[in-house]
Amino acid sequence: MTDLSSFPITKKWPAVYPEQIQLYSLPTPNGVKVSIMLEETGLPYEVHLVSFDTQDQLTPEFISLSSNNKIPAILDPNGPGGQPLALFESGAILIYLAEKSGQLLPQDAAGRYQAIQWVMFQMGGIGPMFGQLGFFHKFAGKDYEDKRPLARYVAEVKRLLGVLDARLVGRSWIMGDDYSIADIATFPWVRNLIGFYNAGELVAINDYPQVLRVLDSFVARPAVARGLEIPAR
């Protein structure tokens, strides 16, 4: 039987199935990237809820696995060379799971790097900027008298949506005909922008018809529908 007892995180979240990938997460746009990926690939995994309500992400056990105290994180008992591998950062996890499964990442070198570039576009642009817009539109930032920060983020989100919309013209998915980790990285954030942040009107989302078209295709996938609810709150 696989022994994960040397990893402190397993003291707080014991593994019932230690031979499976252990996922530590919450159903946020970053968290669901990994649950969707695991559902799409069929890799066996066990899920553990990291509750922000009880600040689980700040506990020593979680930080022992995720140095940046952010979800999601995974512990793969069957990592490279058959040794356990702990990973945080959703983009890194997507790339790792794609390579482990041989799925959802182009096999040719050029296509692989192009897909990774769009994952990085999401990690460095869409995620941080959409998140800042959410803060200034829905959360405490909405009470700031100075509206320049919100205006700045609205303008940048519109610019990013324009980049994405232009990329999707004539394409079924970001990489063309084939669904990939680039889509899994990106569209949970688009969905969150419109739904959870209620910012569709603010950013004139109807001006980006290609983005809306592909978002509809994304949420219609059965694995996406399942992954969006994992882990259950």
Encode pLDDT of 193-204 as tens digits: 999 999 999 999
Same domain, 166 and 210: yes
Same domain, 211 and 167: yes
Same domain, 93 and 151: no
Band (3; pLDDT cuts 50, 70, 90): confident
Encode pLDDT of 203-219 as tens digits: 999 999 999 999 999 99
Mean pLDDT of 3-11: 94
Asked if the structure places residue 150 within a domain, the reply is yes
Mean pLDDT of 112-117: 98
**Chain-wide mean pLDDT for the chain?**
97
Judged on CB neighbours under 10 Å (0-12, 13-18, 19+), 183 is buried
Asked if the structure places residue 206 within a domain, the reply is yes
Same domain, 214 and 114: yes
Same domain, 38 and 54: yes
Given 78, 103, 128, which residue is the final one in a domain? 103
User: Which residues have a Cβ under 8 Å from the Cβ of 47 and sit 6 or more positions away?
Assistant: 23, 25, 35, 230, 231
Encode pLDDT of 131-184 as tens digits: 999 999 999 998 999 999 999 999 999 999 999 999 999 999 999 999 999 999
Q: Above 90 in pLDDT, residue 15?
A: yes
Band (233; pLDDT cuts 50, 70, 90): confident
**For the chain, how many structural domains are there in total?**
2
Encode pLDDT of 16-39 as tens digits: 999 999 999 999 999 999 999 999
Asked if the structure places residue 207 within a domain, the reply is yes
Encode pLDDT of 80-95 as tens digits: 999 999 999 999 999 9
Question: Full-prediction pTM beyond 0.85?
Answer: yes
- Spatial separation of the C-alpha atoms in residues 226 and 39, rounded to whole Å: 7
Same domain, 35 and 57: yes
Asked if the structure places residue 232 within a domain, the reply is no
Given 43, 75, 103, which residue is the final one in a domain? 103
Q: Report whether 167 contacts 228 (CB < 8 A).
A: no
Q: Above 90 in pLDDT, residue 2?
A: no
Q: Which range marks the domain in which residue 176 is found? A: 109-221
Query: Encoding tokens for residue 65?
Result: 């696995």
> Quick check: helix, strand or coil at residue 121?
helix
Same domain, 119 and 90: no
Band (115; pLDDT cuts 50, 70, 90): very high
Q: Above 70 in pLDDT, residue 1?
A: no
Encode pLDDT of 36-85 as tens digits: 999 999 999 999 999 999 999 999 999 999 999 999 999 999 999 999 99
Query: Encoding tokens for residue 188?
Result: 């949970």
Given 103, 121, 139, which residue is the final one in a domain? 103
- Spatial separation of the C-alpha atoms in residues 161 and 155, rounded to whole Å: 10
pLDDT at 214: 99
The enclosing domain of 207 has a CATH number of 1.20.1050.10
